[in-house]
Every structure is written in C-alpha cells, then in structure tokens.
Structure 1
Amino acid sequence: MALPPQKAQAVIIGGGVIGCSVAYHLTKLGWTDVVLLERKQLTSGTTWHAAGLIAQLRASQNMTRLAKYSQELYGSLEEETGVATGFRRNGSITVALSDERREEILRQASMARAFGVEVEEISPSELLARYPHVNIEDVTAAVYLDKDGQGDPANIALALARGAKMRGAQVLERTKVTGFGKDGRRIIGVSWEAEGQSGTIACDHVINCAGMWGHEVGRKMGVTVPLHACEHFYIVTDTVPGLSQLPVLRVPEECAYYKEDAGKILLGAFEPEAKPWGMNGIPEDFEFDQLPEDFDHFEPILEMAVNRMPLLAEAGIHTFFNGPESFTPDDAYHLGLAPGMDNVWVAAGFNSIGIQSAGGAGMALASWMDTGEKPFDLGDVDIARMQPFQGNKTYLFERSRETLGLLYADHFPYRQKATARGIRRSPLHDALKAEGAVFGELAGWERANWFADPGQAPEYQYSWQRQNWFANASREHMAIRENVGVYDMSSFGKIRVEGPQAEAFLNYVAAGNLSVPVGKIVYSQFLNTRGGIEADVTITRLSETAYLVVTPAATRLADQEWMRRQAGEYRVTLTDMTAAEAVICVMGPNARALMQRVSPNDFSNALNPFGTCQEIEIGMGLARAHRVTYVGELGWEIYVSSDMAAHVFEVLREAGREMNAKLCGLHMMDSCRIEKGFRHFGHDISSEDHILEAGLGFAMKKTDVAYIGRDAVERKREEGLQKRLVQFLLSDPEPLLYHAEPIIRDDVIVGYLSSGSYGHHLGAAVGMGYVPCAGETVEEVLASRYEIEVAGQRFAANASLKPFYDPRSERVKV
C-alpha cells in the first residue's frame, strides 16, 4: 500500500464524487502535486447509493451553468479514462397537480428558456405518450427537458479519480485524517494514519470534501461547515416485463421521483419531515452501509405512488433502501474559501444533487484555487454566506428536519423556513411583535417583513399570486412615499475599520473616495480585479482613524473576510459591531418633522445634508443619525446602542402616532428600492457584474489612487459596455415579477430579470435586468420593444436606464 507523501500542494479530504472531481480539475489545470485521502474506499459514504439523476436546470444561471458543465463532462469521461459512467440523456418530466404548482413549473420553464436550457411544456396527453405508465387524472401541467439524464454515480466518481491519477494525483484509500497543524489563518500540515502507520503531510492548501463528515472535519480545522445527515429513502422494484427506457419523472406534490433503470423502477422520496441521522457522530466503521428500514415513514409516499404509477401495485419490491445524505441549512451546497482561514477550501453538503453538481462544482473550485478569484459569481453556494452560529449541532438537527423536504415543496416567493427560528433577534423584536410584525429570517436574524392589521392572522399564506400581505405592504409602501414610516434595520452588518491606516486601506479596498471629513457617508463598492462587485456598502467616517462599513445582513461575514484578506500590511483592525447597535429608520416626506419632535438637534440641509451623519440626543438617549436612504425618500437611519434601542423606539412610536407614522417591514423596503432603481447585492450586482455595466460609475470618485479593480474599470471605459442594467415597468398592473423572468427584446430573449417586486406607487410590477448593448448607444437600447415573460406569457414593458421614481433624486435631498 502506498503511503502519503511528506508534502503536497493540495490535500483533498474525502473520496466521494466531489473530492474526485476537485482532484480531476486541479490536475487538469496543471497541479500535479495533489493528494486525495479517503478514510475507507472511494464512494463509500453517500456517492455509491445516489440515484444518479443529472438535471440541467437550477435556480440561477450560474448554478445551471455548473449543472450543464457536469453533463457535458460525464458524457466525455468514458472516452478519456476508459471507465464507463453509464451517462445517458433520457430526459426528465416534472408534473403539476394543482394550479399553484402549475404556475411554478411554467415559471421554471420560462426561466429555463432565459438560461438557454431546452424545455417543452406538454399536455397531460403528451405526458402519457412519453410516460405511458402514469395516471394523469389530476395532472394540471407538465414540462419536459429532453437533455436531462442519469448516470452511474460510483463509476462517475471512479472515472474522475482515474482522470486525476492519469495526470499525476495520488489517490489513497484507507487513509484516515486525524488532525491538523495550524499557523494563524493557515493549515500547514494534515496528520493521517493508515494500517498502523501515521504521519503528516505539509501542505499549501486543504480541501474539505468529506461529505457528511464535513462538519466534523471542519471543526478540527477551526472552520464552520454547517451540514447534517438525514435518512434518505428509495425502493427498487423487481424487473417489470416490457419496461423500456423512460425519462426521469418528478411529482413534487407527492414528494416522489421515478427513475427507470435496467428494467426496474426506482421510487425515491423527499418527505416533508425528514429524519436527521448521526447526531452523536457517524460510526467509525461506516462504509457502504445502509440504515434500518422504516416502512411506516415511507408508506405515505408509497401509497400516493401506487395511485400515480399503478404498475407498482403489481411489481414486487426488490430493494428497500435507506442511506444517509448531508443537507445544509438553506439547501445550497458549500463551496469556496472558508471564513477565518486563508488556505482551507470546502466542497461539501450537496443536498441530494451531488452527482449533477460535482462536475461543475469541482471545476469552479479548482479555477478559484488556481487564480485566487472566483471564475464567476458563486454567491448562491459560497460558504462565506453561512454564519458561525449555523455550525451549532442543535440548530443543524432542527433545520435538517425541514430542508430535505423543501427540495420538493412549493418554492413560493417569500417562503420562510419554519424550523430553527428565533435565534438572532433585534432589540426591538418584542415591541414589533406586539404591534403585529410578521417575521422572516435571514442569516438567522428575525426581521419584521410586514405588519398584520388588527384581527388579521400574523402569518404568511403563500401563493404565486398576490399573497395575504400584499395590501399591507402596499399601505406601508405608500406611507413611506406620502407621509412617514418607521422600520427596523438592525440586522444589517456593521464592521468597524479602525487604525492609523484606516483611510489608506479603505481607499485601496473600496472604489469610492474615503478621504472625506468626519461625519461623511460614502456609498461604495469593493471590486475584484475584473471590476466585478464583491460588496455593496456604505462607509461612514466616524473619526480620523475609524470608519463604519454597513453591509447587507447576509454578507457581513463575507465582506469582513474580503477586507481582512486584502489588509496585508495595513495597520487596521476590523471588528463586527452588528449586535452592538440597533438601527431604526425614519423615512418619508415628513421624516424631518418626526425627527424634530423627538430630538433638539438640527436636521436641516444646512447642518445635516444628505450623505452626512451627526451625533444626536433622542428622547433621553444618545444616537447617531445617518442621513441616507434605501427607499428613495428623505430620511434618517438612527444608530443607537442596543441598550437604549427600546427607549428610542418607544419615543419615536409615541411621537409618530400623532403624525400617523406607520410601522413598516422589509418587504416595503424592497418594493420602494426597486421603484427607485437601487441595486440589490446578490441579485442585481455580484462579483461577475462590472461596476460600470451595473450603472454605478457615479460611486467611483478616485482617479489618482490605486484601488482594487481600477485597471479593469479603465479598460472597460476604453472598450465600451457589453451590457447595461435596465429597469422595466410592466404596462399591465396584474402580473407579478420575482426574478429570473426572461427579457424579450424585439421578440428575442436577451436576458432575464435579476430582481423583481411590485411598484405600489408606480402601479405595476417592476424588474431589473441586464441587456446586451455592445456597440449601441443608450438611445438605441431604449428604442427597442421590450416584453417580460411570466409563466409562458409575454407582457409589454417600458424600459429605462434612469429610475422610474424620482429620477433626479430630488425627494431625498429636500
């Protein structure tokens, strides 16, 4: 048996399909000093019992890009390596049994067209022609993707391993990782034992591909990898006489999928309440193991399946299988550079889509490791999106009960997780709840999204149409536009950047000019070397040596890590201050009047113009009033220490009642910001979107300071824009926009909406999305006829590069 080397450029932990894919792709980029360590045998954890479904369409363009790459790779692996992958394109069909699910799958079909995935909407009779064994009695719609496929999971992994070994990688089985040597933010050695021997590999990079062991391995390295194993069930029938090759069939409302394989039917389940497994650790001898049968748990799925597929009543059950798979808190896998470390990478937690994801995920991670930058936007899966508390075992146990089933649940817009809630609360939480707040959750924060009326149930009733809170959010929206509203923004990230070189550091890491007076607020972006947007922030100068960087709640950790990794020799300290201060927003044309009622300070333009802050007295407390807005109105964000937040809120609430000030939620903030054309990071702008093409050139003030991305900005100015972020307003007031709806320009799909919401002031849905414009003037871009496709229907839309609401920003500066 070969033993590990004493040194390696990269050590991969875990020999499932993703570990093999990372090894394959690193060696494809020329990394020959790569070692993969597998505790037992390759594929012996989860990969060996995966169903092997290989679909193309995912929830975003880049996730779809990765899935399509996996398909193309698996189709060519056999020729390259000599290992049969069993890959075949037999298509897939997704079936709807209700009007709501019909809307969902037709919206998915529209999204597929925007992403370049071939899709066909088929009638129940056409479904029966393609899948003659299915009961179509209650089918309302179906979609067919002919390029979807399936393959042999274990052989795909073994083919990837063979390809890696052919290019110099060492793949070592029965070699267990026992510990790590650490030096600051780097792992410098990986300890191992194998057949009575042990040693340490000195390394430049470590990649955690340990699957359901990934959480435990991460803890040993000092990083958080939130995932939990759940039991996952399927049955395989005896051979069905005359059964020919069939597409994969998914019936999400019955939590079931069907796969024909070698003349048998595999029926798999994603039940609404899952069974977490391995809470006390995974047995040491676990290898190609399965878990005890639980027929009572599976029986409701089987009963529906026998009705949907009557042949199951006649076919005997050959295999009842129960095997563990790992699931993450948000049903998206973990990929990328682990927060807190500079050479620890993660590719784990694939939520039952590991086979279809592994090829693309391995390619993306290898490219990121090779160049030091993400090859394109990976925000959906970047592990930096996870919060430290999400490594808590009790949290993971509770959340995993839900996440397995959510894969097949209705993907309603604004759907909130039901489990593991109430962990992070604003100091205003109880006061807002008493006033009818209905909370959503983001990064663990409970956030008031809308306020129920007296007598109205304070809960979501989900739909693809107008949900039960639509009128509430409309009234909150109009209060902001016409009078004054108060809302809680405490969850937004707050990072204090302090030190003698704070100004120089921020001028290097941010595209805006931070050489400003104390009290000035700067809206800015952090750019990568391609001019893409890594963060979208406001930065307030608090003193000569201190600034406050305010970030979206979901990206605080990622943004702080980005700054830390750029800090180099700069003498600065970065401190997360998020929980130290609450933020209460007072916004609307009467915001100044409300502020003057509660504070003796001067809020005039002369003393406190837009983009400045001041220390104030408010009630009997002290706070900082930042004159800035994300809703497009006159207003202030009031930063107050958490101990005084409840008092300040009570003072504002009491004074506001006399002015009919309205408590508002964050759904209002989203609908107001999209009317104003304000970008939403992670949707409208990302690491892949160039700052100039995003229409944010106004936020760059420097020409003489060498900030990250400046060269790319100058190149783009010279070569011209390839696309522009355009705002769209539907002519018809009825349809609703969410995101990913196709943009049709003169009858041709040219892109998709990056975000959408209802413009209650404008009277119709509003969306934003990128339109190709190489060689075109602004006038030429806007001269075209635009439509937006919603669930297969096209609706006329007006297009604008200026905000539809208050295009000259006169209202925010009054």
Structure 2
Amino acid sequence: ILRHQDQDLYYREHGERYGIGSYAHRPMPVVAADLGVTPEHVDEHSMPSRLDFTPEDFAQPWEASKELLPALRHAEIEDGFNGIFSFTPDGGPIVGQSREVEGFYVAEAVWVTHSAGVARAVAQVLTAGSSEIDLGECDVDRFEDVQLAPSYVSETSQQNFVEIYDVLHPLQPKESPRNLRVSPFNARHRELGGYFLEGGGWERPYWFEANAALLDELPGEWQPPARDAWSAQYSSPIAAAEAWKTRTAVAMYDMTPLKRLEISGPGAVALLQRLTTGDVAKKPGAVTYCLLLNKQGGIRSDITVARLDEETFQVGANGSIDLAYFTCEARRQRAEDPTQWAQVRDITGGTCCIGLWGPLAREVVSSISSDDFSNEGLRYFRAKKSTIGGVPVTAMRLSYVGELGWEIYTSADNGQRLWDVLWAAGQPHGIIAAGRAAFSALRLEKGYRSWGTDMTTEHDPYEAGLGFSVKLAKDDFVGKAALEGRSEETSKRRLRCLTVDDGRSLVLGKEPVFYKDEPVGYVTSAAFGYSIGKPIAYAYLPGEVAEGDAVEIEYFGNRIRATVTPEPLFDPEMKRLRG
C-alpha cells in the first residue's frame, strides 16, 4: 500500500492491476435511505456501496498519480466506481452500547485506520464491561440531540471529508452550521463584542472586545507573552485583562453550556450512592464533588451533585455520555426494584447559569438580594434557593476559577433579566463579562482537572490526583473493589503540574514530554498562568518523577525546559475561595 498524502491519494496492488483511491474531489453526500436493499447476489460489481463512477472527479487525481508513478503514464483506467465512507459530525467512529436497547452494541463509521483498535475495544467491552483505551471520543452517546439532526450530520460530515487529512488547530471550530444553541445571555454577549467558538452546538464566548481597553490598565506583571503564529490562533491578549479583573474585582462567566441533569425520586439517593465515589446522602443544601468510575476503577466522569431536597438532586455533568449512563442505570435499578425508581432529566436547555466570581462578588449580590450570602449564610460547597434582583435562583457556592463566588442558576426565560440585574449591580465594582480563554487559564492555576483531557477511563483517581473524592468508607460503589490497595504513593504514573522555566514559551496540549531524554508522557492541558506570570502545563509522568525535577516539552521540534511544581500554583490555602 502506498499513500500520497499531499494529493489525498492511496494505492494498492491488485495482481497485474493497480488500485487508486482519491479523496481529492468534492463531497458527494449519500443518503442512507437511497442506497436500497442488498441485492440477492453480491459481488465486486453489485453491492449497495458501489456507486456510479464520475470521471470528472478523478481527472486531477489521475494526473497527480501519473506524475508520482511514471509507469501509469501509458496505462488506462479499466474500471472505476464511487465508494462510500461513513463520516460522523466529529469524524470519529461510533462505538458502544445503545442506551435505548440494552445489549445492542454498535461499531460503525470504522475505517481501516481504526479497525484493529475498535475490534479489540469492542471485544473488551463485551467481555469485561470496558476497554483498556478510553472510548469517550467515539462513544455512541457523545452527540447532543442537535448534532443528530440530518442537516447537521450532512453539513458537518461534508466538512470533515474536506478536512480529513488537514492539520487542524485544537480550538478550530466548525465553520457551519453555527448559532444552533445560544444561552439567554447571547444578545448581551454580542453587544460586548464576544468572540465565539463552538462546542456541542453551543456558541461559547472566549473573550469580549469590550474589554480591550483594560489592556491599557493591565499591570506589568500581568502582561501576556508574545505568541507564535500557531498558538496565536483563536487567542487574544484580552484574556489576560479578563483574568486580572476576575482576580482583582468581579466577573460574570456564562456557564450555561455545561450539562445539567436532574435526578429525582425515591431511588435517587441509592442510584447516586451506587454510581459515585462520594457520599451524597447528606442534608439538602449539600454539594458534593465526586467521580463516576468503571468497574476497573477508571474515571468515566467527574460531577458535582447538589441535594436540593430529600428526593431531588442537580448534577453538573460532562455531556450526553453521562446522561446516557445515568438513564441506563436508573432503568436497571427500577427493573430490579420498582420501589427504587429514579427519574433522570436533562435540564440544560431549560435553565441557564452565570458564574459570578471575584473578591467583590459578595458586594454585588448583597446589594440586590435580602438573602444572606455571607460565609455563615452560604458556606463553601453549599446550595440554596434565593432571589437576586427579583429573579428566583439556585445559588451554589462553587468556583472553577478559584475565587469567591457562586454558580447562579435560573430558568431560561429569566436568564437575560438575571444577567441585567447583576450587570447593573456590578457597575460600581468594575464588573466585566469574561470568556472561556481566561476561565481555562484560571482553572489551571488552581489545578482543577477537566474530564476528557486531564483524566479519562484510562486513569484512576489516585493517578489523576483526585483521591480526596473517593470515600472508601461508604457502601459499595462501581469501581470500589478495583481501587482497593491503590494510592497516590503507589501509582506508577501521576498527573503533574509543570511550569515553563523561561516564563514565556507556550504549549497548547498533546505535546510529548521528556524526562532524562526519554519520552514519558504528554501534555493534557496547558495555558499561560496570568496570575503567576508563567505558562502552565499538566502531564502524566512516571511515579518516580518528583517535584522539582526537570522535564522537557517538545513543541514543533523544539525542546522547552519545564519543572515539576507543587500544586495548586494559586492560593494553595484556599483563602480566597472560602473568604
């Protein structure tokens, strides 16, 4: 087999003939329903996946082939056909058990490049319940409903066909379709000059041009570094100003796109206790950070669980995969004991959330609410119903950026009003809207993990530095038996915090990491830490690598020196969060 990547061509010998395949043509989408049924007699010339050859689409690839292989210059095209490939909205395979039909497993859109790995993974799922490699990026349930619409599948699949061998920036969004899902704050975001990227169909502001003027006020120690052409894409120095204002005043973050589930009913406690590593059997108002594990102890998700009343919980989840998991497990639990039923609802679309964070957040809320938002009135990792500026809300004292504040939830119809009352109340305190670019940097300064990048089913809680979330003293839960005898100290690898020695060289994630000139891991997450004035990276390193040790990160062929550093880098005493 020969491949000519520059021209999207591949070749294979067939006896005395040569087979040529090409991607270098226009997308020609095929509707599955138009393929018909499999003919009674199937051979190489009669099958649903063999469509009529279109010579005009092969003209340029044929010329490129003759230039590469001179022996073809005197050959003729003997036979041709248009083949069919399965493309998905994100280009990955579709693998796993259907949440609609238990015992029905799917392995679709599998190319030859995936085939052996998918076969092994499916065999492991069928025999052991999970695979050695994380399947999150090809999980059958990973897509949001909007991404399953035929128009979305067609448009994104055609774009994936065009880009199949392109080198894409990790933040590069889909060009189209866009504006499929927007939060109730979208109009205000646009008024502030929001720069949007897309994820799961949601428009997510990464920074706001309205904050550009803050760069003139930015202290010298907060100045962002110069970026090379690659890292400068989908980036702006405005993120530094937004991080600065979050740390020194107060900022509003749109947290609406994050998946929210409601789990309720007489079996809700039992369901959550069985599936999570934490103890959620607490009094109403308690919020618990915990993990979902597979039977082998791998991390399938991290979630927050807020007990709103005796039988109702709000779960901050990581996407449709979590929704499918809870739905299937609730169905199984009810089948075993009908009295222990639990209802699982996706409430994301009907609700919205503002993260109000910063040292002046309490001044903002207290000016428009008669409820008690003091330390005594709402402690860290607690939730309560309240009214803010006349808007009914649920406030949870959580912060993914490491500052005082709350995740403030309300119904979607009240969303813009909530934004407006907080915005008006915050003007005397220098409030700003901030985007995900600043958010990502601030969460790394605090060492907060992001599921799917910093940990997956390939990692256990102790390797990921999340052992604190595992309550082995409680009754049995999924994965508990596998964790017996494990600890951070005995882990063969651990997720480590790295800071770049020169203070300016940036990496983006997935870069290889070297220790004593040997490749030992890769960067999971990275950002410039504006509060500490250094680039930050996280990577899984061998257990023997210690704090203070030197490593190197390879970025476009260059080795960047970094140091394994204690974490968190910012506010390790948690004084600001609990202030």
Q: Specify the TM-score bucket, using the shorter chain as the normaliser.
A: 0.7 to 0.9
Query: Between the two proteins, what is the percent identity of the paired residues?
Result: 29
Q: Is residue 617 from structure 1 mapped to residue 370 from structure 2 by the alignment?
A: no
Report the CA distance between 1:799 and its aligned residue. Answer: 0.9
- In structure 2, which of residues 24, 39, 52 is the aligned counterpart of residue 292 of structure 1? 52
Q: Indicate the residue corresponding to 2:295 in structure 1.
A: 529
Secondary structure (helix, strand or coil) at the match of 2:141 reads helix
Partner residue of 1:250? Answer: 5
Q: Distance in 1 between matches of 2:513 and 2:294?
A: 28
Partner of 1:274: 27
**Structure 2 residue aligned with 1:346:** 106
Classify the secondary structure of the residue corresponding to 1:525: strand
**For the residues of structure 1 that align with 2:497 and 2:266, how far apart are their CA atoms?**
42
More deviation in 419-428 or 396-405?
419-428
CA distance in structure 2 between the aligned counterparts of 1:298 and 1:419, rounded to whole angstroms: 27
* 1:366 match: 123
Q: C-alpha displacement at 1:606, in angstroms?
A: 1.3
Hey, what does 1:646 align to over in structure 2?
A: 416
Q: What does 1:128-527 correspond to in 2, within 5 Å?
A: 150=1, 247-251=2-6, 254=7, 256-259=8-11, 261=13, 268-271=21-24, 274-278=27-31, 280-284=33-37, 287-288=46-47, 290-299=50-59, 316-350=76-110, 354-453=111-210, 464-467=230-233, 469-527=235-293
Distance 1:662 1:291, change over 3 A: same
* 1:417 CA displacement: 0.9
Query: How much has 1:519 moved relative to structure 2?
Result: 0.9
* SS class of match (1:654): helix
On the 8 A contact 1:495/1:560 being kept in 2, the answer is: no
Matched, 1:627 2:397: yes
Distance 1:658 1:554, change over 3 A: farther
Q: Which deviates further from its counterpart, 627-636 or 654-663?
A: 654-663
- In the superposition, relative to structure 1, how do residues 546 and 455 fare at CA in structure 2: closer, same or farther (>3 Å)? closer
CA distance in 2, matches of 1:402, 1:519: 46
State whether residues 279 and 397 of structure 1, in contact with CA within 8 Å, keep that contact through their aligned partners in structure 2: no
Q: Cα deviations across residues 290-312 of structure 1 (Å, max 9, x unaligned)?
A: 33344444556667777777887
Instruction: Check if 1:608 corresponds to 2:360.
Output: no
Instruction: Find the residue that maps to 2:282 and give its secondary structure.
Output: coil
Cα pair distance change 1:640/1:309, threshold 3 Å: farther
Pick closer, same or farther for the CA change 1:318–1:470 going to 2, 3 Å: farther
Q: Distance in 2 between matches of 1:482 and 1:298?
A: 60
Shift, 1:419, TM fit: 2.2
**Quick check: which has more Rg, 1 or 2?**
1
Q: Which amino acid aligns with 2:183?
A: S
Alignment correspondent of 1:786: 551
Q: CA 1:314/1:421 → structure 2, altered by over 3 Å: closer, same or farther?
A: farther
Residue equivalent to 1:690: 460
Give the TM-score normalised by structure 1. Answer: 0.64
**SS at structure 1 position matched to 2:367:** helix
8 Å contact 2:256–2:354 — kept in the other structure?
yes
User: 570, 573, 576: which is aligned to 1:811?
Assistant: 576
Aligned to 2:516: 746
For 1:104-148, what per-residue CA distance to the aligned partner results, in whole angstroms no more than 9, with x for missing partners? xxxxxxxxxxxxxxxxxxxxxxxxxxxxxxxxxxxxxxxxxxxxx
Q: Which amino acid aligns with 1:394?
A: S
Unpaired segments of 5 or more residues in structure 1? 1-149, 151-246
TM-score by length of 2: 0.88
Alpha-carbon distance, 1:563 to partner: 4.2
Name the CA distance, whole Å, in 2 between partners of 1:504 and 1:468.
44
Q: Against the structure 1 CA distance between its residues 437 and 369, is the aligned structure 2 distance closer, same or farther, given a 3 Å change threshold?
A: same
Equivalent-residue separation in structure 1 for 2:119 and 2:177 (angstroms): 31
SS of 2:522's partner is strand
Paired residue secondary structure (2:560): strand
Q: Hey, what does 2:353 align to over in structure 1?
A: 583
Change (3 A) 1:805 1:565: farther
- Report the CA distance shift for 1:257/1:297 in structure 2 as closer, same or farther (over 3 A): closer
- Of 469, 473, 478, 1:708 maps to 478
Determine the C-alpha separation between the residues in 1 that align with 2:265 and 2:530.
45
CA distance in 1, matches of 2:19, 2:443: 47
- Cα distance, 1:668 vs. partner? 2.2
Change (3 A) 1:714 1:306: same
User: 1: CA distance between counterparts of 2:488 and 2:447?
Assistant: 26
Query: Residues 703 and 682 from structure 1, CA distance in 2 versus in 1: closer, same or farther, beyond 3 angstroms?
Result: same
Q: Does the 8 Å contact 2:129/2:295 carry over to 1?
A: no
Structure 1 distance, partners of 2:95, 2:489, is 33
Q: Secondary structure at the match of 1:322?
A: coil
Q: Could you say if the C-alpha distance between residues 544 and 261 of structure 1 is closer, same or farther in structure 2, counting changes exceeding 3 Å?
A: same
Whether the aligned pair in 2 keeps the contact of 1:684 and 1:754 (CA below 8 Å) is: yes
Query: How big is the shift at 1:793?
Result: 1.5
Q: Output the CA distance in 2 between the equivalents of 1:812 and 1:505.
A: 30
Separation (CA, whole Å) in 1 of partners of 2:53 and 2:428: 64
Match of residue 547, structure 1, among 287, 302, 313:
313
Contact persistence 2:523–2:540 (CA under 8 A): yes
SS at match of 1:574: strand
- Whole-Å separation in 1 of the counterparts to 2:418 and 2:488: 51
Separation in structure 2 between the aligned mates of residue 694 and residue 559 of structure 1, nearest angstrom: 22
Q: Gaps spanning 5+ residues in structure 2: where?
A: 40-45, 214-226
Give the aligned length: 554
2:265 and 2:342 in contact (8 A); partners too: yes
Question: Which of 304, 309, 314 does residue 538 from structure 1 map onto?
Answer: 304
Compared CA separation, residues 671 and 296, structure 1 to 2 (3 A): farther
CA distance in 1, matches of 2:295, 2:347: 28
- 1:491–1:553 Cα contact (<8 Å) kept: no
- Offset of 1:610 from its aligned partner? 1.0
Provide closer, same or farther for how the CA distance between residues 269 and 454 of structure 1 changes in structure 2, counting only shifts above 3 A. farther
User: 1:310 and 1:565 mapped to 2: Cα distance?
Assistant: 63
In the TM superposition, residue 265 of structure 1 has moved relative to its aligned partner by 6.6
For residue 803 of structure 1, report the CA deviation from its aligned partner. 1.4
Distance 1:733 1:307, change over 3 A: farther
RMSD: 2.9
In 1: Cα distance, 2:244 partner to 2:347 partner = 32
Which residue identity does 1:400 align to in structure 2?
Answer: S
Contact 2:231 2:507 in 1 (8 A): no
Deviation (angstroms), 1:582: 0.5
CA distance in 1, matches of 2:561, 2:471: 37
Displacement after TM superposition at 1:661 (Å): 1.7
How far residue 425 of structure 1 moved from its aligned partner, in angstroms, is 2.3
Q: How far apart, in 2, do the equivalents of 1:535 and 1:484 lie?
A: 30
